Structure 1
Amino acid sequence: MKFGFDELFFSRTDSRGKIKSGNTVFQRVSQYSWDELLGKPHNTIRHKDMPRGVFWLLWDQIRKGLPIGAYVKNSSKNGQYYWVYAIVTPIENGYLSVRLKPSSAVFEGAQEQYQALLQAESDGDLTPAKSAEILLASLNRLGFRNYQSFMTQGLISEILARDRMLSVETLSTVRFFHELLLESGKLLETATRVTETYHSFRFVPLNLIIQAGQLGNTGAAIGTISNNYSLLAEEIRLGLDGFFEAAKKVSDTICEGAFLLSTSIIQQEIAEVFAGEAKTSEIDHACEMAHLDRQRGLYAARAVENLVNIQRELEEFARGAAEIKRLTLGLAAIRIMGKVEAGRLANSVLNDLITDLETFQQTLSTGMTEILSLNSALWQHTGQLLDAYGDDTKVAAA
C-alpha cells in the first residue's frame, strides 16, 4: 500500500492496545473503515512477517512509561503491505503511535535483520522474549550498543532521508544532534580502546618487579621504580573504571536526547497535519488535538531538559578524563627513570619491558588527548544545540 513521504499518520490506543482514534491517512492506508478499526486490537493491521521479538521490545518499553521507535511492516485490508517507522509514546490511559515512511540505509539493514529473526523464530519455536534477545545481539554485532542506539539512529536517519526526498532543509537541531551522535560514538570507541590498552599492559609492571627481584641488590632501584609505576597504574585503573562508565552515560544521554528531540519534531508536524484535516463524525477532533498538543509540549520540554543533562554529564566526564591525563603524565616521569636505570644495568629483558611501558604510556596519553578534544567538540555542539533549539522553536511557533 503506497503513501507519500509528505504524509504522516497516527493512531491512539487504550492501555490494552485497542484502537481509539487516528487520522484520515491512517484510515486510508489501512483500507479499513472507521467502524472496522475503532475498538479493535491494533494488531488487526499487523503483518505476518513481523518478528514477535520486535513487539516484545515495544511493549516492554511502553509499559515502563518509556517511548520507543521501531520499523514495522503493516498489512492493509486487501492484503497489501506497507512499512513505517513508528514512534510510540505512552499517554494518559493508552499509547500514541506516529508513523512516517522509511527509506534510509538503517531501514534496509532492519529488513535483513527481521528476515533472519523470522527464520530463527520459525526454526527454533522461540518465545517473544528470546526472539528479542537474539535481535539485540544481532544489533550489537552491527555496532549498535543497545536498542536505544538503534532506534535513535533509525529515527534521525529517517528524518534526514525524508527531508532529502521532500527537498526541504533539515532543522539545525537535527543536524547538530546527528553530529553529536557521531562524536559520542567516537568518544565511546576511544574510551574502549584506552581501557583495553590498560588491560593489555597490566602485567608489565609486575613483570618488572619480578625481574628486578631476580637481580638482587643490583635491581633494587628498578624494583622501587617498578613498584611506584605499578601503584600509579592501579590508580589509573580505578579511574578508568569510572571514566568508561561516564563515557557510556554521556553516549546514552546524547542518544536519549536525539530521540526526544526528533520525536518532538515529528509530533509537532503531525499536530499541524491533523489540525488541517477535515473533521469526521467518527473522531473527536478537539480531543485528539488536545492529546497531540500535550505530547508535543511534553517531549519538547524533555528535549531541552536533556540538553542541560548532556552538558552536566560532559562536565563530569571531562573532570575524570583530565585526572587520568594527569596520572598519565606521572607515568611518563617514572618510566624515564626506569629507562635510565635499565640502560645502566644493560639488561635486555628490562629494556624490553621498559619499551612496553613506553608504548603503554604513549598510547594512553594519545587516547586521553583525543578524548579531551572530542569532549570539547561535544560541549561546543551541545551549546549550539541549545541556541538552535531556541531558534527552531521560534520558527515552529511563527
Structure 2
Amino acid sequence: MSGRANNTTRTEIAIVGGGLAGGLIALALRQARPDVAVHLYEAGPALGGNHRWSWFDSDLDTAGNALLAPFRKIGWQGYEVRFPAYQRKLKARYNSLSSADFEPALRRELGQDTIRTGTPVAALDAGGIILADGTRVSARAVIDCRDMATDSTLRGGWQVFMGRHFRTPRPHGLAQPIVMDARVDQHGAYRFVYVLPLGADELFVEDTYYADSPELDRSALSARIDRYCEAQGWDGTILHGEAGVLPVITGGDFAAWQRAHAIDGVARAGAGGGFVHPLTSYTLPFAVETALAIAADADLPGEQLAALLADRARRHWAQTGFYRALGRMLFDAAKPDERYRVFQRFYRLRQPLIERFYAARSTTADKARILCGKPPVSILRALSALAGQSAPLRERHRP
C-alpha cells in the first residue's frame, strides 16, 4: 500500500524512514512482538531506496542471521582483492542484499497495512508524528531512521560511488566478488572498483573513491566504469544504476552532533543515529544489532527508548575510535594518489583479523598488528595525522 496514512491516527511505535534500519526494526518487532502495533513511514515510493548492502558471515550471530532469513540474498564462498603490488583470494563467505529484494520481503512479512510509502513526515515529537498532509499520528514511541545529517561537529572525508548492474550477452566467467580492485588510476583519491557476479550473465560494477570532496561527477564516473568493463572484456545491457556519497568519519564532537540533531523523546537509529562503521561506512551489522535490541525492549516508553539508543550510540562511538584514527591516517597522512597503499598493506594480514575489522570488533592484538611494522605512509605524517583533526563534514548537496 502506498499514499496517505488512511485513517490511522494511533499506533504504538511509529518508525520514520523505510531504509535498511527502519525496515529491520519493523521486521524485528513483528518477529518478536507481533502484538505490538507498528507503522513504518517512508517518503519515497519504495522501501530500501536504491541500495545494495553487503556483509561477511562473521558479521552476524545466530539471531542476526535469523532476522535476515526472509530476504533473498546472494552469497559467495570467498572473494578477491587486487592491488598494484599484491593480489589475494580470501575464503570468507561474502553476502549481498539489494533494495529490490529488501522491499518485497518486508511487504510480505509486515503486511500492507503496516507500511506507508509515499508518505512524507513533516514533524516528529515524543508523542507522535505529523504527516505532510497534516494528519497527526500519535504513538507511544517514535523512532527516527532517516538519513544521517553531517555538519561541522564531525570531521572526515567522503566515500563517493557509482554502481551499474548489467546483463552480459554471454557468461562473464567471474566466480567470486572482487571487493577491491585498486589497479586503476587513482584520480586524486583512494579509488577502487567493486565487482559482484550476480549471476552467470549479470554483474554489478561500482566505482568508489575515498575523496576529500563530496562531489559526484556522474559523467566522469560513468565513463570510467565503461573503460574498466571494456578492459575486462565485459559489455551488456544496463539493468539498474545507483550512486551516492557517504561520510567517512575521522573525528569530531559526537556529543555536540547528537545534541544538534536530537528531538526530545524521539529515538534515533541507523546511520542517522550514528550506527555506522566510521571507516568503511558499513551499516548492516549495526542495523541488525539495533533492531534486535529495540525488539527486546519493545515495551519501553518513547523517552526511555530514545535514551537507550542515544546511550548505545555513544558507546558505539567510543568503541570505534580506532577506525577513526585509521581514517585520519588515510586522509591526512597518505597522499591522495597513494592512499591505496594503506589497504594494500592491510590485506596482507590474517583473514580473521580482516573480518573482525569490518565488523568493528578488532581486538587489542589486532590493533597492534595493524599498526606495527613498516607503515605505508610517512611516520611523521602519520603522527601528525593522529594528533590533528580532519576537515569538517559540512552539509553537502545531494547527488
Q: State the TM-score, normalizing by the size of structure 2.
A: 0.27
Which of 1 and 2 has higher RCO (CA within 8 Å, sep 6+)?
2
Q: State the TM-score, normalizing by the size of structure 1.
A: 0.27
- Rg larger in structure: 1
Higher strand residue share:
2
